[in-house]
Chains A and B, each alone.
Chain A
Amino acid sequence: MKRSIVSRRLSTAVALAAVATLGLSACGGGSAPGGAASSDSGSAGGTYTVWDPYPQFDDSSAWVQLLKKCGTDNGVTVERTGYDTTDLTNKALLAAQQGTSPDVILIDNPVISTLADAGALTDTETLGLDTSGFEENLLGAGVVDGKTYGVPVGANTLSLYYNKDVLDAAGVDPASITDWTTLTAALEKVSAAGKKGITFSAIGTEEGSFQFLPWFWGSGADLTELDSSQGVAALSLWKDWLDKGYAPNSVINNTQTTSWQEFATGEYAFSENGTWQLGNVKDAGFTWGVIPIPAEGGGVAPAPTGGEFVAAPVQSDDSRYATTTKLISCLTSPENALATDTTLSYIGATQAVQSEQEKDAELKPWVEAVQGAKGRTSDNLGTDYPLISEQMWDAVQAALSGSKTPEQAMKDAQTAAASATS
């Protein structure tokens, strides 16, 4: 008798607790309160908050020192928090909802149009921020309906790293690679010589789309028409490499970091990767070089631009903008930007920084690549881009894993993207 009451209570409690736990975990993200609260508005001087996606830098790093210095120079204290990149978008949206946005935010450039669309960012005209020094193709990612929201702190993009030892052993001259045919021929030779061809990231996230875009654009395809013959050709190129074993099957789950780890084993001839690996490649222990990603018919394919924008979230007290603008100008001034871009392995977003970086032979090909690069949200795609990109990475995944043909995958993707963006 006693026992049954206890056990009944216990079971009810367990069932309730279990359901409640599930409920919490299922919806926790939607209703979690915002992160660090920004300082209260008002008093001259005071504290200005900065959020960035560089959690790897601690308070003693040059980046945080620069932030503090820009603050002191303008008579305010800067309070900085570093978040994980993927986390920062959600944090920024929640903060905007709660009215606890930071004064300055550094955020991945394709997110700018989303935040601007949400009405969470202040445009540069309102801020009185001069954007004339910035390269047009980089600034483009922050332009929504003719207004600019923030300025790039620097940029990165993709090229092909090659392992010279592997290429030499296979008898391939990297200079001979000028289009898709010569690249595939080179991969064939490398495979025949017993080494592995190329590694990249085709993961089902924005990272996968980022890596696919140089090939997609390089075929002459346009994001508004995924299933064009050019778009299908780009996907077929990748699929073909997988089928022939020129690229490993693991690319389907590779992030750019894991694909770099594959390249770092010294077994691979090529890796499609970004400027940010320049520091690591020097420790790789083999002779390396960089060539631009070729377009289908020759020439350099436009690669997407990566890198963060410095932007000013909307504040209820607009008297804060004056100081915010000074802080942003300080962070992006040529000498400070050069220092920041060097620490981050980025290419400058202004003519001044780029011409300084071009003097370095290692950086020169990257400066050129960035100059030829294109913002993902440019062409006024804005908030349509994420919707298209999602369908595109799904198509890449479906085709590479063999569940659909490239034609079918792109056709389905286009149908879905069209209905999502209409």
Chain B
Amino acid sequence: MTTLEQGGSAASRSSGAGAQPPARAPQDGARSSGGSRPGAGGRRRSPSSVSQLTAWAFAAPVVVYLLAFYAVPLYRNLDLSLRDYTVRSFVQGGAEFNDFANYTTVVADPTFWPALWHTLVFTFVSIGVQFALGMALAVFFFQHFRLSTTLRALFLVPWLLPLIVSASTWAWMLNSDSGVVNYALSLVGVDPVHWLTSPQWALTSVIIANIWIGIPFNLVIVYSGLQSIPADVYEAASLDGAGPWQKFWRITFPLLRPVTAITLLLGLVYTLKVFDIIWIMTRGGPGDSSQTFATWAYDESFGNVLPRFGSGSAISTLLILMALVAGLVYIRAQHKQEAS
């Protein structure tokens, strides 16, 4: 490790030595040939403040972008969730602050606890199964057998399809009366299952569809993680007599830990906010049986002719907090891992 780093810095030093002089030369040239001109400027502004300004100028686009597209929407969302919005006050302005009334309404709503439970089940079951299957497939394809590249590419298809296409396709396949899944079941003598229209199955159905869509993401990231594990570690393990199981649990799994952590965190955030699949397949129904926070927030804000922006944005805020907590947990875990 140390030798590598030394080598790296030596290389950068030498490349820097090669690159810097030409960059500096025109500056020097300008200064010397310009004579008094840069001196006049230098009196008013010290070179350091100029470079500071330049730095800010370079940062400005990003700062503006972050403010306009991240800070302002977040602020607006929070603002909406703390006010008593009706259609009239939304248009005419003057919605009054009502402290946390929207939040208490949301928590007291009969949909709250089922929706929270569905959100957690949807998220954790999806991530767990996606990751397990993604990892299994990644390890499988890492064997480099014939056609493995082609097959791996095929596994990416769910990722490439627009969500509306895959969700609609799932909805057709799971249709109670004309769906191919129930047809297949009927061939083996199983009674039709009301996948999307019974309260017992709706959540399961959307989870299945979501897992299918999420596998490629896990597959790709874990696969790239596998590539970073040096082959000689496996060789050494083989010489020591480790079997395939041992190699997986003692080498692959521990060395993949950083990749695992980031995959799970990204998966968590992606899955928490999954909206399209549920909305297209069941609209959170029947009743509230597949309602998650994401669909509920949308339903409150836009699902009715009479929008309830206050409670809709309150639910969104709760959702953001959930993701934030997940992010913080991840960062903490990362620090601990580095410290140890």
A-side residues, CB < 8 A to B, are: 1-2, 4, 7-8, 11-12, 14-16, 18-31, 86, 89-90, 93, 96-97, 110-111, 114-115, 117-120, 203-206, 248-250, 252-253, 262, 383, 385-387, 389-390, 394, 397-398, 400-404
Contact = CB atoms under 8 A, between A and B. Distances in A.
Contact of A402 (B198, B262, B323): B198
Contacts of B127: none
A226 to B, nearest CB: 16
Contacts of B8: 2
A311 to B, nearest CB: 14
A394 B88 CA distance: 26
B287 interface: yes
B313 A27 contact: yes
Q: Chain A at the B interface: mostly helix, strand, loop or mixed?
A: helix
A206 B305 contact: yes
A261 to B, nearest CB: 9
Contacts of A97: 90-91, 93
B302 A29 contact: yes
B165 to A, nearest CB: 16
B74 interface: yes
Contacts, number: 189
B289 A203 contact: no
Interface string B291-335: 000100110011111110100110011011001100110110011
> Size class of B's contact patch?
35 or more
The residue in A11, A23, A119 that gathers the most chain B C-beta atoms within 10 A of its C-beta is A23
B287 A397 contact: yes
Q: Chain B at the A interface: mostly helix, strand, loop or mixed?
A: helix
A18 B70 CA distance: 11
B199 interface: yes
A253 B282 contact: yes
A22 B283 contact: no
Nearest to A101: B91
Contact of B306 (A4, A12, A383): A383
A248 B197 CA distance: 11
A18 B87 contact: no
Contacts of A11: 261-262, 330-331, 334
Given A29-B298, A118-B87, A14 B266 contact: yes
Given A18-B269, A23-B74, A97-B90, A386 B304 contact: yes
The residue in B284, B328, B334 that gathers the most chain A C-beta atoms within 10 A of its C-beta is B334
A407 to B, nearest CB: 16
Nearest to B293: A26
Contact of B320 (A14, A19, A383): A19
A323 B98 CA distance: 42
